[in-house]
């Protein structure tokens, strides 16, 4: 009989052992343990049928229907798992750690694989994820007006050995009306939380962790409440970057994208820009005057960011003026100004 591990032990084993998630494709897509392999016991439609019978008729009839569906697929399940793993040990879980994972584990054990399951299933994992966000973190926010090059600076900090959370990369969104351009389709908020949790587990949370100053939502993804509260109270390094440099950064980042995508993004902020500035921005885009487009849009974004900045405690903010974009010099400068001490 397969052994069942509580969540911490299960995740420790998962660092070196493949994880098979036997939930349906839809459940897996909504959220899963990072790195897990989906081998669904039921398809989305099959799960719906079994669930309906369970609710409207009885557990016994639902189990019977499940066996009818699964029976012809037993051999293919074993073949699929063996084709996707190396070695003879595997971890299995479902939603609650009940019949689906138990029966699948029995099948793999019968086929000669050493199998363990997750006590209380994916539901226990989700509870664990939320608990991680409640643990105190030594976050340091890197802030600045749009176009300040914060993402590039964070990447350089990471290259220099600092701990960094790149929220925009995790969310596949840059957090503005232009944020989805050039990005992959966003995952669910649930999967983002799982990915963020997995990243935090690779870090020393007693030492400082750099993160960009963002709003709570990036596109359709919302940051976890407990994590967001820690961000709001974290010290902020604010970069005061000259507007010419910011315009140059924005043109470098966005001018190569199709104009129709840029126009769609400009139209999303038309109420904030006003009719005159909107028309000027669209006209400048048509004339390939990307510097003017950036300048017009910055009027809106600067106003919005400064309004947000005004709500922070002044004593928690350190302002650093930037008049050239030498990444090495900037990262050395802000690292020296960061709280928690060098290397902490």
What is the band of 51 on the pLDDT scale with cuts at 50, 70, 90?
Answer: confident
Work out the average pLDDT over 102-108. Answer: 91
- pLDDT by residue (tens digit) across 153-182? 999 999 999 999 999 999 999 988 898 999
Dump strand ranges (E) for the chain: 3-5, 19-21, 37-38, 89-93, 114-118, 138-144, 164-165, 208-212, 217-218, 221-222, 236-241, 317-322
Class of CATH domain 3-130 = alpha beta
Q: What is the pLDDT of residue 71?
A: 65
Mean pLDDT score, 101-123? 94
Render pLDDT for 21-47 as a digit per residue (tens, 0 to 9): 999 999 999 999 999 999 998 877 877
pLDDT band per the 50, 70, 90 thresholds, residue 313 = low
Q: Can you say whether residue 132 is alpha, beta or left, with left for phi > 0 and alpha for psi between -120 and 50 degrees? A: alpha
Instruction: Assign 120 a pLDDT band (cuts: 50, 70, 90).
Output: very high
Comparing 3-12, 43-52, 61-70, 328-337, which segment has the lowest mean pLDDT? 61-70
Range(s) within the chain of domains with CATH label 3.40.250.10: 3-130
pLDDT band at 221 (very low <50, low <70, confident <90, very high): very high
pLDDT single digits (tens) 124-139: 999 999 999 999 999 9
CA of residue 204 relative to chain centroid, distance: 19
297 flagged as catalytic: no
Least trusted range by pLDDT, from 26-40, 54-68, 123-137, 225-239:
54-68
pLDDT confidence of residue 342: 46
pLDDT band, very low/low/confident/very high, at 193 (cuts 50, 70, 90): very high
More confident residue, 335 or 44: 335
Least Cα distance to 77 among 36, 110, 44, 33 occurs for 110
Which position among 94, 171, 197, 297 bears the catalytic label?
A: 94
Cα–Cα distance measured from residue 81 to residue 90, given in angstroms and rounded to the nearest whole number: 9
258-287: average pLDDT = 93
Domain(s) of CATH 3.40.50: residues in the chain: 138-337
pLDDT at 239: 94
Tens of pLDDT, residue by residue over 12-24, are 999 999 999 999 9
Whole-number average pLDDT of the chain:
91
**Mean pLDDT, to the nearest integer, of 74-96?**
92
Contact 115, 2 (CB under 8 A): yes
For 53, the 3-state DSSP assignment is helix
Mean per-residue pLDDT for 246-264?
Answer: 95
Are 332 and 338 spatial neighbours (Cβ–Cβ below 8 Å)? no
Q: Which option is the CATH number for 138-337: 3.90.25, 1.10.510, 3.40.50, 3.50.30?
A: 3.40.50
């Amino acid at each position: 009989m397969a052994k069942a591990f509580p969540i911490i032990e299960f995740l420790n084993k998962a660092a070196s052992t493949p994880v098979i998630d036997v939930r349906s494709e839809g459940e897996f897509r909504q959220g899963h343990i990072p790195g897990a392999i989906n081998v669904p016991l039921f398809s989305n439609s099959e799960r719906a049928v079994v669930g309906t019978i369970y609710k409207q008729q009885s557990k016994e009839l639902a189990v019977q229907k499940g066996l009818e569906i699964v029976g012809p697929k037993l051999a293919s399940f074993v073949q699929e798992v063996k084709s996707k793993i190396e070695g003879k040990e595997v971890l299995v879980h479902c939603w609650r750690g009940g019949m689906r994972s138990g029966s699948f584990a029995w099948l793999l054990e019968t086929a000669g694989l050493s199998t363990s399951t997750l006590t209380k299933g994916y539901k226990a994992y989700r509870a664990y994820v939320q608990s991680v966000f409640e643990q105190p973190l030594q976050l340091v926010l890197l802030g600045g007006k749009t176009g300040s090059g914060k993402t590039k600076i964070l990447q350089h900090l990471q290259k220099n050995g600092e701990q960094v959370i790149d929220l925009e990369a995790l969310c596949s969104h840059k957090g503005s009306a232009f944020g989805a351009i050039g990005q992959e389709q966003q995952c669910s908020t649930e999967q983002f939380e799982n990915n963020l949790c997995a990243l935090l587990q690779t870090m020393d949370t007693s030492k400082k962790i750099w993160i960009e100053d963002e709003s709570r939502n990036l596109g359709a993804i919302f940051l976890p409440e407990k994590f967001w509260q820690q961000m709001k109270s974290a010290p902020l390094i604010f970069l005061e970057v000259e507007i010419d440099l910011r315009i140059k950064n924005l043109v470098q980042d966005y001018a190569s994208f199709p104009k129709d995508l840029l126009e769609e993004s400009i139209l999303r902020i038309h109420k904030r820009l006003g009719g005159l500035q909107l028309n000027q921005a669209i006209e400048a885009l048509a004339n390939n005057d990307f510097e003017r487009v950036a300048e017009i849009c910055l009027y809106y974004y600067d106003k919005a960011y400064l309004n947000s900045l005004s709500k922070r405690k002044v004593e928690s903010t350190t302002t650093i003026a930037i008049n050239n974009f030498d990444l090495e010099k900037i990262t050395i400068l802000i690292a020296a100004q960061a709280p928690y001490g060098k290397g902490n």
